[in-house]
Amino acid sequence: MNVLAVGAHPDDLEILAAGSLALYARDGHRVTMCVLTKGDLGSDTHTRAETAAIRRAEAEESAAVIGADFFCLDQPDGFLFDGPDVRTRLVDVMRSAKPDVVITHHPDDYHPDHRAASRIVLNCRQLGLCGLVETANEPTDTIPGVLYMDTLTGIGFQPELWVDITETIDTKRAMLRKHASQNEWLKRLHGTDYVDYVDRQGTLRGLQIETAYAEGFQAAKAYPQPRDPGRLLPPSL
């Protein structure tokens, strides 16, 4: 399959879906990781331009861990809105990736950029077919299924689908460690460590399916959607 994961910020995909993305890559599927914003507010020691450059480099290094293609649409951190420019640019990424499935944020996650990203993905998935929407890449001939990632801390989210990521938890940790600048900033700001956080949430979701670590997903309630959305995920319980 072709898999496109769309996150609002550098590190969102790693926190919420890197174990599953690593499984896709391990099993020979093509993975593309797309970040909508520059993440340029994620520092208390650098300028916004410096922060954006650092975080892009870290995101590229993280994607390289699993051999994923990487795109950043360079929208401003904290001010992600649906509009013609971001739609056109994401449609072009979708045409490049030709996804069978798009993985993105849940529409009710805590951060406004996460919620915006979720809406933008759903609004763009059919535009890839439309030849009158002009982009560098040719129109696709299919509409991908959409799966929502877990929310941070799982608030307001009950998984419908689970992926056992026990075999790729170390890869997920390695990808997160590439985001060193953000992890250090979050430690100072909230006392939160990436790896500890994902271990705890992964353990919670793993408990629900009697495995060591898992990631949870929901299928978007949108037309058209595959009859069996679970087949779009790596082998799971």
| 125 has a pLDDT exceeding 60 | yes
Mean pLDDT of 182-191: 82
Q: Which pLDDT score is estimated for 57?
A: 97
Mean pLDDT of 100-110: 97
| 179 has a pLDDT exceeding 60 | yes
| 229 has a pLDDT exceeding 90 | no
Mean pLDDT of 11-23: 97
pLDDT tier, 44 (very low <50, low <70, confident <90, very high otherwise): confident
- Dump pLDDT digits (tens) for 141-176: 999 999 999 999 999 999 999 999 999 999 999 999
Number of neighbours of residue 21 by Cβ within 10 angstroms: 31
Q: Which pLDDT score is estimated for 236?
A: 53
Q: Which pLDDT score is estimated for 138?
A: 96
Mean pLDDT of 20-49: 95
Q: Which pLDDT score is estimated for 231?
A: 86
pLDDT tier, 189 (very low <50, low <70, confident <90, very high otherwise): confident
| 237 has a pLDDT exceeding 50 | no
Q: Which pLDDT score is estimated for 192?
A: 80
Mean pLDDT of 206-233: 92
Mean pLDDT of the chain: 94
What's the CATH architecture for 2-232? 3-Layer(aba) Sandwich (3.40)
C-alpha span between 191 and 189 (Å, rounded): 6
E strand intervals along the chain: 2-7, 30-37, 69-75, 101-104, 145-149, 161-164, 214-219
Residue 221 β-bridge partners? none
| DSSP secondary structure string for all residues of 99-133 | -SEEEE--TT-SSHHHHHHHHHHHHHTTGGG-TTS
